[in-house]
Amino acid sequence: MAALYSGIHLKLKNSKVPWEDKLKLAHFAWISQQYFIPNKEQVLLDWVCHTLFTNCAKKLDLKDDTEQKLWSFLDNILHSKKLQNFLKKGKSLNLRFTIAQAINDFIESSCSQKGPQTGTGTVLSCCHAILSTPSLAFVYTAKCELIVELLNKLSVLACRCLALKDPITNQVLEVLLVSLNQYIIIQRQQNNPNRIFGQVVAQLFQPLLILRHTLNNYAWDRDNDSRVGIQHSKEIRCKAESVLQMGIFQTELLSSYKEELLAEKDFLEKKKGPLKILLTPVGSLLSKLEDSNFCEKEIYNSVVSSSIPLLYKLFLNSYCKDGNQLVCFNMLVRLYESLQTTIIQENNDLHVSKLNTGLYALDQILSLVVSNDIYNIAVDRIRHQEVQYNFYSKLAKKLIYSYRAPVPAWFRCLKDLTLLNHLIVEPDMEELVSCAWVFADISDMRIRKAQEILVASLLETYAKLRQFPKLFEVVLIVICRPASNELKHPVLSPALTQHFVAALIELPPNQILDIWTMILEKCSSDVLPVIKNDSDTSLKLISLSAILHCLLFNMKSIDRNTPLPVILRLQDLMQKMMDKLIKPSLDLINDHCIEPSPALWLLKLCDSTLLLVYTWLEVNTMITLNCSKYTSQLIKGPVEAQLALEPWDFSPLLREKSCWEKILTLTMTSNAASKYYLGLLSVQKLKHILMQISFPSETSISSLKTIASFVFNLRVDLVIPEKFESWGGNTNTVNQDCFPVAYWHLITSNLLILYPYVTAEETKTVADFLLETLLLTKSEEDHEQAITLKNISVGLLQSDIFAEMRALQCAFLTSIIKKCAGIMQNEHNNISEILALLSTDSLNWHEEVFSTRKVSKECENATLDNASLCWLNMENAAKKILYVTRCENGLGLSDCHTAQLVNVISFLSEIKPDSLTPLDQSRCFLLLLSLARADSSPRTLHHLTNCYKILSCLLTGKHSTGVFKLLYASDILEIVFNSLFKANWNQYEEDGRNHGWLEFVEILHSFFESFLKLIVERKQSVLINLEKCTAFLLTSVPSADDICWTSSVHHLYLVAVNTLCEVITFLLLEQRANKQRAEAFASLLQKVVLKMGTTVSQSLKVSVATRLLPSFLVSCVTSLLEAELSCLSLMETSNMKLDSYKYNKELLNTELYKRFSSQIMKELCYAEDQTVFLKSSLHYLAKCITAKETCIPQESTVLTMFGSIKKLLTAPWINVQITWSILEEVSELYNQMAQICSNEEFYTMLKLALQWLEVRNLWEKNDKDQFAGITIIKLFLTCYLSEDNRKLFWFSAPQVITSLVTLSKEACRNRLLLPTIVVPSLEVIALLLRQGEGFLTNPHHITLSFDILLAVPLDHLKAEDYYSIFLGVHEVLFSILQCHSKAMLQSVPSFLNSFYKLVSSVMHEGRQKGDKVSQILSPEFEVVLKCARLVERMYTHIAAKTEEFTVFSAFIVSQYINELQKVTLNSAVKKHLSEGIFHILDLCIERDIKFLNASLPMGLKEVFKELYNEYTHYYKTKNQADEKYKA
């Protein structure tokens, strides 16, 4: 053995032996069990480590492939199971420190090359194995320098791999993550902060910053490897920050930072102990950061800009505590100076790009200052001579004057400074408002968002400080600067308007009036005198008018409660606005000669003048209506004079008619804003006249029609322009681009006022435009809140007022019919002709002429002709539809045209059926009937689904029977099913169960059911119509051998026959008292039954794969069974004879029913994710069990079904939610079973249920059995039991309670069993206690339930589980309190302890957590609130039991107080709990109150006093007041 060992050892050391042989020998020695060498593992590990280190030290000259094989050999050893087993046995195996150095040197050599060298992955694998194995990791952890060096090299290698997208990137990151974790552990164990600081700054500071920046900016691909890389990237960034924080910002170094950052007078701490104080930690960090050679020049600025905020964040995390704010500020100053030195350098070529990067860093730093409350204004002023204020002021000046850049960070920096102290930016407010707001030309959305946030913060700050006029004084100065730039954008954008409005709400009226005064002064003194021939000044007037409009429209309303001085001042300002602003503007327009191409300043003057006039009139009207103290300044002339004027003429109010003629001329010169304002004024004029007219005459109506027509004609034509933009909603932002949207909004928002006075032609134009805008495609930029043509039209169509405008609705329906005719014109002339008949222009379709066919002779000839023509057209259209259906197969439309039809028809679903006239309802019905044709287009299903969904809706309208005046019911049925049966459904055969088909079938069933019910409800020729419908259906479907037969046609036919069967069955049961009618319906039903039974049997026999769902087939067979049972029942009760049942009064389809019953019971437990099938199957079984002929050929039908239900309830996929969803059907089945079962069968079922409740099943992991047992007991409690069975059940009730309590106590140990075992058990116990009031006589059985109440957990639960358990406990307590008060008296302590558990739990869950608003809006809080209501209810019930609980009232109150003192309750929860405990305080007599005051400890005593004061002052006082009104 020694020789063998010696031979191997010598060969490995022998330089003459080839390395290839050495490696083979070493590998064989490692894996082979034949070599029994002492300490073999250690020998081989030492050899390979020594060889690799010697090679790295250049003492050996190995070839590259030999070196790689050595690393591979080491990697195999480190990852081998042999090594793992060796270490698990507790054996020691030592690595040399030299291997760590070798790994570090290899990684370093990889970093120095252009890319990682060959074999780097193997070396990294070795490194990972060493660091991941605690017994081997000591080679790095014992020598801290080695792991620091490793982290340094790995960081550099990771950056290189990420830059090159090398395949080993993820491996590098994984090793780096493990290394960081190891180093963090070492850091925490180090006792020398100076040493750690030195190591981190010297070797890790720069590499980790570069690595963090690289990871932040790396774009990962979308694949599985990238997901791993992203996760590693997040963890590495987090760990790197931890290393930096624990290394350079340790608690022990705070004094060093203070000494360096603070002046001598501010630094009062004495140097303690032998700790060597670092003299300049900040200087060390910044010198490393300012060294531009530590990374590539291209990324240096980015690295520094991301690193400085990080350093400041870490510094604040470590040191930002009370008393250290000045240190944190001085650190900010040093970092800012470093930022200035490195990035924000003025007067160099890269200034703009570097400035943007620097501003980004500065923004993050200032955000940290704001969020950490470093700046305290009072402390800074009193203690530190405003050192912070001065710094921030200088910084603000530099931002405004030197560092100005159109980037979001610049705006955010200024916002942060504003939030710190508005006085910081106030000295330069004029320049700030100018460059950041009024004259900022911004098109980029991100920058605009940042600008809006800055301006919003200014508005909010000055509003809170009640200095809003001061801010707007600056804004007005900037706008009115003599040599200012052109105003390219509105001063108040839509977003800023919202913030401006929000600020106005906070302001007192006088400040709003101050701003109003300033605007008037600026306009009258600085703008109007110089506006002539000056377009820039006219733009300033537009801006000032817009601000004034926004101010007056959004200020607090003035009413009779407003102080009189405010009203008087407002009245004075209204007068000044008219005299100093509006009238001078009108004079300027009147004095100027209007040319064909007016100057820009004149057009803008016209815009602002009309806006001001509209604003003034609107404000004057509103204040006049709301405030009786205000005197209107309008000269009230006679209404007749106003009616005689042109719609655009406001000369009785302002100036001469010639002035308004010039305004009209300017407005019509393609001036969009003026048209919009003139439209608003015209609508206002219309409202003003209507307010003065009590009963309109023909003259006044004519004038009102002229005004309405003028409003419509201002928009030259209602057509969709090629280019238009969405509108922000502000009156003052209307321009040429958004004018179509704004004006359509004006028309639709005032349509209810304009509608009575518009002509039929204008109504038609509006309807056509409404449809065209609805058909517009939605762009990506549009959202639901955006004001676009489409959104405005959708809002109008969905509004309630649309249904009130019958003529418009009729015109809209005509537009839809015409649009459909246009789509069909080229491809289907017959349908196009039908639609043309339904939309003839020469007819007045909106007239109410269709309510009766006969028109009286006294009517005018025109009306008679119109009625006759309408009737004739409708009849002709109906005949053509019937003809086309009989002769042709489908529409044959292209996909594009089908999609267009679907879009157009979908708008009909928005129309309310009850709002349609009889004529429109019938037209709509015929339109859909003609278009509901199937073809081979893939979109057919969508189209048909749409048609029949709207048809079903139409049948609910109050005029739905009008269509029967055009077509017989059987004709309508023929039209529907002929088109469906003749269709080519081949493309749907393969994927028969797709969602589209199932939805279509469901809609078709709904339509046919509604249609048949309408026939019945109409009560005219019901039997004849049903006979014709039945005759058609029984003869129309092809047989399975027919070439036209498909499973789709079969499915549709079954839908029709099944629905018909259900309706006739219902009628048969309803008319059974009328023997003659009952016989007729029974005869009809028997034909349907025969055909339906044959069809269902046929569907089960066909060899082609059927598309019929099991649930649908089951519902069909259920309907068939119900129909047969109804017929047999009628024959028994009234001695009626039916042909099919002539000789044998038995079911016709007995075998079918048996087959279904047997199959259903087999498949119930496999019906996963088929709730519909479960419901229909259980319903079928409930019906089936009542029929003797359908009994399953086994010993006991009841027990067989019982076994099937048990299998269902114990299926692996069943859960509480599914059980709840089918509970109604299962209850119905069990009710039927309970009624027909024998005593022996019931005993067997009950015995089995009790066996499943045994706790041993839970120990055997059969919790499904317990769930089934609990559910079955619950079902028995809901069933009607015979006398014997009821006695048997209640005799077993004590055993049930005992089993449930034992089972639940055991289940409480496993939280997963709470919803499936504990909650159902609580529900069953509550039911047992409630229903067993006369049966459960032993108090022990009642009080046994307290065991489960005290055992059930109420902490750390999901919201839904918490509420279920809470409700269950409450219901058990309530049942005991209400039904078993005598038993409860024997165990009051247990009752109170159980209830106290609920009180304690709801207080704990209802305590205040974080933000109050977000807590209230959370779904969990709603659950807590419901539980609090339950506690309040229980307190009320306890208080109602006065005799039982008077003695315990003080104890209940003390329990409540004790728990209340521990938490701060949310006010909503506290309200309910207080109301409840007040009822208990009603039971307390004076002696109890004294006892509580004397015995409660000090803290609790204060809580009780507060509670008792609330009770005395609010609750008791209120109750005493209520007592006066009680008998």
Q: Provide the CA 1370 distance to its chain's centre, in angstroms.
A: 33
Calculate the dihedral angle through the C-alpha atoms of 1019, 1024, 1025, 1031, rounding to the nearest 10 degrees: 160
pLDDT at 1106: 53
pLDDT (average), residues 502-525:
91
User: d(Cα 833, Cα 884) in Å, to the nearest integer?
Assistant: 11
pLDDT at 270: 41
pLDDT at 548: 94
pLDDT at 866: 64
User: d(Cα 338, Cα 304) in Å, to the nearest integer?
Assistant: 9
pLDDT at 3: 41
Q: Provide the CA 725 distance to its chain's centre, in angstroms.
A: 28
pLDDT digits (tens, 9 = 90+) for 285-294: 999 998 888 8
3-class DSSP assignment, residue 787: strand
**Residue (of 764, 747, 756, 760) closest to 711 by Cα position:** 747
User: d(Cα 368, Cα 350) in Å, to the nearest integer?
Assistant: 27
Q: Is the pLDDT confidence value at 473 over 90?
A: yes
Given a contact cutoff of 8 angstroms between Cβ atoms, the answer to whether 547 and 519 are in contact is yes
User: d(Cα 876, Cα 575) in Å, to the nearest integer?
Assistant: 67
pLDDT at 1524: 38
3-class DSSP assignment, residue 573: helix
pLDDT digits (tens, 9 = 90+) for 1438-1487: 888 767 777 788 888 888 888 888 888 888 888 889 888 888 888 888 88
Given a contact cutoff of 8 angstroms between Cβ atoms, the answer to whether 104 and 153 are in contact is yes
pLDDT (average), residues 155-161:
91
Ramachandran assignment for 636, one of left (phi > 0), alpha (psi -120 to 50 degrees), beta (any other): beta
pLDDT digits (tens, 9 = 90+) for 841-894: 767 777 543 333 333 344 444 445 666 677 778 888 888 888 888 877 666 677
Which of 268-277, 822-831, 946-955 holds the top average pLDDT?
A: 946-955
pLDDT at 975: 87
Helix intervals (H) in 799-860: 800-804, 806-824, 829-838
Query: Letter for the amino acid at 466?
Result: R
Structure tokens belonging to residue 10: 């010598």
Looking up tokens 């079911």 gives 1147
DSSP 1460-1503: HTT--B-HHHHHHHHHHHHHHHHH--HHHHHHHHHHS-HHHHHH
pLDDT at 994: 64
**Helices then strands, each counted (H, E), the chain:** 75, 0
Given a contact cutoff of 8 angstroms between Cβ atoms, the answer to whether 436 and 455 are in contact is yes
Q: Is the pLDDT confidence value at 229 over 80?
A: yes
**Residue (of 249, 154, 256, 257) closest to 200 by Cα position:** 249
pLDDT at 1527: 40
Given a contact cutoff of 8 angstroms between Cβ atoms, the answer to whether 889 and 981 are in contact is no
Strand partners, 727: 787
Q: What percent of the chain has pLDDT over 90?
A: 22
**Residue (of 587, 590, 608, 509) closest to 552 by Cα position:** 509
pLDDT at 516: 95
Q: Is the pLDDT confidence value at 1056 over 70?
A: yes
CA angle, 1282 then 1287 then 1293, to 5° = 125
User: d(Cα 1009, Cα 952) in Å, to the nearest integer?
Assistant: 9
3-class DSSP assignment, residue 899: helix
Given a contact cutoff of 8 angstroms between Cβ atoms, the answer to whether 390 and 434 are in contact is no
User: d(Cα 745, Cα 729) in Å, to the nearest integer?
Assistant: 9
Mean pLDDT, the chain, whole residue set: 83
pLDDT at 1511: 83
3-class DSSP assignment, residue 1527: coil
Give the pLDDT band of residue 1411 (cuts 50, 70, 90).
low
Query: Letter for the amino acid at 238?
Result: C
Give the pLDDT band of residue 484 (cuts 50, 70, 90).
low
pLDDT digits (tens, 9 = 90+) for 398-438: 999 888 888 899 999 999 999 999 999 999 999 999 999 98
Q: Is the pLDDT confidence value at 1151 over 50?
A: yes
User: d(Cα 626, Cα 82) in Å, to the nearest integer?
Assistant: 93
Q: Is the pLDDT confidence value at 271 over 50?
A: no
pLDDT at 1169: 79
What b/e readout covers 1220-1244, taking b as 16+ CB neighbours within 10 angstroms? Answer: eebeebbbbbbebbbeebeeebbbb
Query: Letter for the amino acid at 1477?
Result: I
User: d(Cα 97, Cα 181) in Å, to the nearest integer?
Assistant: 20
pLDDT at 211: 93
pLDDT (average), residues 37-56:
80
User: d(Cα 1218, Cα 1236) in Å, to the nearest integer?
Assistant: 27
Structure tokens belonging to residue 1447: 């003695």
User: d(Cα 375, Cα 417) in Å, to the nearest integer?
Assistant: 11
Give the pLDDT band of residue 1523 (cuts 50, 70, 90).
very low
Helix intervals (H) in 955-994: 969-981
Q: What percent of the chain has pLDDT over 70?
A: 86
User: d(Cα 555, Cα 502) in Å, to the nearest integer?
Assistant: 10
- Residues 6 or more apart whose CB falls under 8 angstroms from that of 1094 comprise none
pLDDT digits (tens, 9 = 90+) for 682-723: 888 888 888 877 777 777 788 888 888 888 888 766 778 777
pLDDT at 655: 63
Q: Is the pLDDT confidence value at 546 over 80?
A: yes
Given a contact cutoff of 8 angstroms between Cβ atoms, the answer to whether 1136 and 1130 are in contact is yes
Task: State the CB neighbour count (10 A cutoff) for residue 607.
Answer: 28
Burial of 1410 (0-12, 13-18, 19+ CB in 10 A): exposed
pLDDT digits (tens, 9 = 90+) for 1065-1084: 888 888 777 778 888 888 88
Looking up tokens 């259920």 gives 1118
pLDDT at 992: 47
pLDDT at 1516: 62
Task: State the CB neighbour count (10 A cutoff) for residue 1510.
Answer: 16
Looking up tokens 């980029």 gives 444
pLDDT at 486: 64
CA angle, 497 then 498 then 502, to 5° = 115
**Residue (of 227, 124, 98) closest to 177 by Cα position:** 124
User: d(Cα 439, Cα 441) in Å, to the nearest integer?
Assistant: 6
Structure tokens belonging to residue 1240: 């022996």
- Residues 6 or more apart whose CB falls under 8 angstroms from that of 1470 comprise 1406
Q: Is the pLDDT confidence value at 315 over 80?
A: yes
Helix intervals (H) in 266-350: 281-289, 297-319, 325-342
**Residue (of 148, 282, 298) closest to 214 by Cα position:** 298
DSSP 684-724: HHHHHHHHH-SS--HHHHHHHHHHHHHHHHHSS-----SS-
What b/e readout covers 879-907, taking b as 16+ CB neighbours within 10 angstroms? Answer: ebbbebbeebbbbebeeebbbbbbebbeb
Helix (H) or strand (E) holding 1391: helix 1388-1405
User: d(Cα 686, Cα 514) in Å, to the nearest integer?
Assistant: 33
**Residue (of 974, 1112, 1003) closest to 1050 by Cα position:** 1112
**Residue (of 1166, 1036, 1177) closest to 1116 by Cα position:** 1177
pLDDT digits (tens, 9 = 90+) for 1272-1294: 998 888 888 888 888 898 899 88
Q: Is the pLDDT confidence value at 397 over 90?
A: yes
User: d(Cα 428, Cα 1360) in Å, to the nearest integer?
Assistant: 57
**Residue (of 108, 230, 233) closest to 127 by Cα position:** 108
3-class DSSP assignment, residue 1407: strand
Give the pLDDT band of residue 1094 (cuts 50, 70, 90).
confident
User: d(Cα 481, Cα 501) in Å, to the nearest integer?
Assistant: 25
Structure tokens belonging to residue 1003: 């809609």
Q: Is the pLDDT confidence value at 455 over 50?
A: yes
Q: Is the pLDDT confidence value at 1149 over 60?
A: yes
What b/e readout covers 23-40, taking b as 16+ CB neighbours within 10 angstroms? Answer: bebbbebbeeeebebeee
Q: Is the pLDDT confidence value at 243 over 90?
A: yes
pLDDT digits (tens, 9 = 90+) for 1024-1045: 888 888 888 888 766 655 655 6
